[in-house]
Structure 1
Amino acid sequence: MAAPPWGPPRLDGFILSERLGSGTYATVYKAYAKKDTREVVAIKCVAKKSLNKASVENLLTEIEILKGIRHPHIVQLKDFQWDRDNIYLIMEFCAGGNLSRFIHTRRILPEKVARVFMQQLASALQFLHERNISHLDLKPQNILLSSLEKPHLKLADFGFAQHMSPWDEKHVLRGSPLYMAPEMVCQRQYDARVDLWSVGVILYEALFGQPPFASRSFSELEEKIRSNRVIEDFFAHPWVDLEHMPSGESLARATALVVQAVKKDQEGEAAAALSLYCKALDYFVPALHYEVDTHRKEAIKAKVGQYVSRAEELKAIVSSSNQALLRQGPSAQDLLKEMARDKPRLLAALEVASAAIAKEEKVGGEQDALDLYQHSLGELLLLLAAEPPGRRQELLHTEVQNLMARAEFLKEKIKMRESRWEAESLDKEGLLESLRSSCTLQ
């Protein structure tokens, strides 16, 4: 039925209420299903008379894309209808508003919150890109929040979305200039990677409260965002860390690693078992974030407490072994330094390794020590590859192996400490009471 001039349109089966937002072609209303469930939905009303050929194609593509996908961080299209005047997209309702409003009411977001949001957005984008779909209009206004109490991102507004293989190139200008990649702003050909530029701009806005390239004119904006730098591999970046995003698979992955850890433990391989227990913790923490059932959560916590206790015992064993190695090490390292007097680069790398050992022995110096170990090893591995056969090569090979073992152990120690901090953070919410006494890594 036609919309009365003083209120929202009427649609069979639904009661349309407050207006949630509007754009060039559409107005979005909050609505209630008339059936028994009284389900709350959002209805996007598109006036037929406002559509031209291009916008009709965009609308049809949006419907086609959303009809065929289901993902926890993409807004769901439940149905669509039409009448003489309008086309109606019946969407999942997101009570938390959009990300733009969420950022601006808080001014900036803490890095921890921004990271969780980026994980969720990356998960949705990876899902789309695997299906050769590009959004092409990523901005905070098009990202909705499920609620304000426990917000989950929902990517929305696929009006500019396109089916694009990674190697496809387009040249039609789409999206919002503030969030456009340089190749779009400059009206060159572009491909699916433009979505990742937009993600970077959104992250910047979340952390600093405003987009990085705000300007008074389009030409000024174009000048500001010109750049030849290659966009990194976003989905694999360690800060995004999709691998450890809380999900239904987190517990299964943690359990599989624990099974391997127990096997190595039984075989007497303490270092390998410790490493596997640490990797399992990286999945147990997000598993606890994901779990909502109180009894299952308590069962997971109890198991994690046992694993942390055993990891602590293994850490002491491995640490004792490494200390023995350290006591043996100086004479071999001193001999190698003596043999490296004609190799300034080798001598410098060995001095960095000595500094790493000294740092490791100091309280709170683990991260600095690890950085020094990695710097030293980067040099020593190159030098080892170029070293001719002989006694110096043998000593250098042994030294590299020793330093790698120490660096790996230190890396696992730091990971365990970080997992403990994360666990203690959850504990403040009443989730990990049993770990407080059993996961002290000092």
Structure 2
Amino acid sequence: MAAASPGQSPAAGSSKPASRGRSGTTSRKQRSLFRRRRLGAHTFQSADEFDTIAVLGTGSFGKVFEVAHKQTQERFALKVLDWAEMQRLDMIDQLEAEKHIMRKLGQHPHIVGLLATWTSATDLYMLLQLVPGTDLFEIVRAHKVVPPPRAARYIAQIARGLDYVHHKHIIYRDLKLENLLLNEATDSVLLTDFGLAKDVHSRNGKTKTICGTIQYMSTEVLAGMPYNYRVDWWCLGVVLFVLMVGKYPYGQVRF
């Protein structure tokens, strides 16, 4: 993958998360894609405002870091995306759609919030709410099954988040254990990663793109038929099944 900072892996305690060594001029499209966003009374302008605490994850075109704001010491998740690599993979429009959707969703108790965005000459930055804990995939892998009362509580929380997403006329399209973060401090679940989400602009708006994770896909999606927000409820049923049984509904794959 293209690391967010080529040739460097920011260590815990380093003062500058994923900044580039080379200089350059930010393109007009790049500037318009990620204009600076205000969080409270402060407008973030640079990764230099944060200390890196840890690397939380690595993807195809960037990394996610746990960071602390130098002035306030408040913790966040900072997603750093390689602009050139995203152009090469033709991912710019998808990123723009994800940013639009997360801004439209705003803040909700069961959705990871987008707090700010900005650019450098070579990278795109998304400052996100930090969820202290793990995802439900790791919970199932560690414990095999989740006790029914706990599973019911998690499903109810996910359903509240999904219902909010749908009322904003958005189809999530990638509901799965890996995208459900458990805040261990509050024992609450939050939806994250809206890279495949679709704004259909009305409650019953439809789309027909085949996307998602195959173990969770509904029959309509797999068949290439038009579908609406109800496919997300199918995915939630799969999540419930896995939490209770410890395997996917189809096949014999166990965690």
2:193 maps to which residue? 157
For the pair 1:101 / 2:138, whether they are aligned, the reply is yes
Preserved contact between residue 96 and residue 151 of structure 1 (Cα < 8 Å): no
Deviation at 1:87, TM superposition (A): 0.9
Match 1:62 to one of 91, 95, 98: 98
Query: In structure 1, the residue corresponding to 2:118 is in which secondary structure?
Result: strand
2:166 maps to which residue? 129
For the pair 1:139 / 2:141, whether they are aligned, the reply is no
1:5 maps to which residue? 7
For the pair 1:46 / 2:81, whether they are aligned, the reply is yes
Deviation at 1:54, TM superposition (A): 5.3
Deviation at 1:206, TM superposition (A): 0.7
Query: In structure 1, the residue corresponding to 2:48 is in which secondary structure?
Result: coil
Work out the CA distance in 2 between the residues paired with 1:123 and 1:74.
10
Query: In structure 2, the residue corresponding to 1:206 is in which secondary structure?
Result: helix
For the pair 1:115 / 2:152, whether they are aligned, the reply is yes
Which has the larger share of strand? 2
Match 2:50 to one of 9, 14, 29: 14
Query: In structure 1, the residue corresponding to 2:221 is in which secondary structure?
Result: helix
Residues 134, 101 of structure 1: CA spacing in aligned structure 2 closer, same or farther, 3 A cutoff? same
Deviation at 1:116, TM superposition (A): 0.6
Deviation at 1:184, TM superposition (A): 1.1
Residues 215, 187 of structure 1: CA spacing in aligned structure 2 closer, same or farther, 3 A cutoff? farther
For the pair 1:184 / 2:221, whether they are aligned, the reply is yes
Query: In structure 2, the residue corresponding to 1:88 is in which secondary structure?
Result: strand
Deviation at 1:187, TM superposition (A): 2.1
For the pair 1:199 / 2:236, whether they are aligned, the reply is yes
Equivalent residue runs for 1:27-426 within 5 Å: 27-35=63-71, 37-52=72-87, 55-68=91-104, 69-147=106-184, 149-164=185-200, 165-214=202-251
Deviations 1:56-112 (A, max 9, x none): 122112111212321100001111111122111111111111111122212110110
Query: In structure 2, the residue corresponding to 1:150 is in which secondary structure?
Result: coil
For 1:48, give the aligned amino acid: W
Residues 214, 22 of structure 1: CA spacing in aligned structure 2 closer, same or farther, 3 A cutoff? farther
Is there any run of 5+ residues in structure 2 with no aligned partner, and where? 11-17, 20-46
Work out the CA distance in 2 between the residues paired with 1:23 and 1:4.
13
The two structures have a TM-score, normalised by structure 1, of 0.46
Preserved contact between residue 169 and residue 205 of structure 2 (Cα < 8 Å): no
Work out the CA distance in 1 between the residues paired with 2:62 and 2:101.
18
Query: In structure 2, the residue corresponding to 1:74 is in which secondary structure?
Result: coil
Deviations 1:416-440 (A, max 9, x none): xxxxxxxxxxxxxxxxxxxxxxxxx
Residues 54, 132 of structure 1: CA spacing in aligned structure 2 closer, same or farther, 3 A cutoff? farther
Query: In structure 2, the residue corresponding to 1:108 is in which secondary structure?
Result: coil
Q: Matched residues, percent identical? A: 28
**Number of residue pairs matched by the alignment:** 213
Query: In structure 1, the residue corresponding to 2:241 is in which secondary structure?
Result: helix
Preserved contact between residue 167 and residue 203 of structure 2 (Cα < 8 Å): no
RMSD (Å) for aligned C-alpha atoms: 1.9
Work out the CA distance in 2 between the residues paired with 1:190 and 1:57.
22
Residues 129, 105 of structure 1: CA spacing in aligned structure 2 closer, same or farther, 3 A cutoff? same
The structure number with the bigger radius of gyration is 1
Deviations 1:137-187 (A, max 9, x none): 11111111122x432111000111111234322121221111111111222
Residues 73, 182 of structure 1: CA spacing in aligned structure 2 closer, same or farther, 3 A cutoff? same
1:340 maps to which residue? none
Deviation at 1:13, TM superposition (A): 0.7
For 1:39, give the aligned amino acid: E
1:235 maps to which residue? none
Deviations 1:277-302 (A, max 9, x none): xxxxxxxxxxxxxxxxxxxxxxxxxx
Work out the CA distance in 1 between the residues paired with 2:146 and 2:56.
24
Which has the larger share of helix? 1
Residues 106, 198 of structure 1: CA spacing in aligned structure 2 closer, same or farther, 3 A cutoff? same
Preserved contact between residue 32 and residue 40 of structure 1 (Cα < 8 Å): yes
Query: In structure 1, the residue corresponding to 2:111 is in which secondary structure?
Result: coil
2:42 maps to which residue? none
Work out the CA distance in 1 between the residues paired with 2:145 and 2:176.
16
Preserved contact between residue 178 and residue 214 of structure 1 (Cα < 8 Å): no
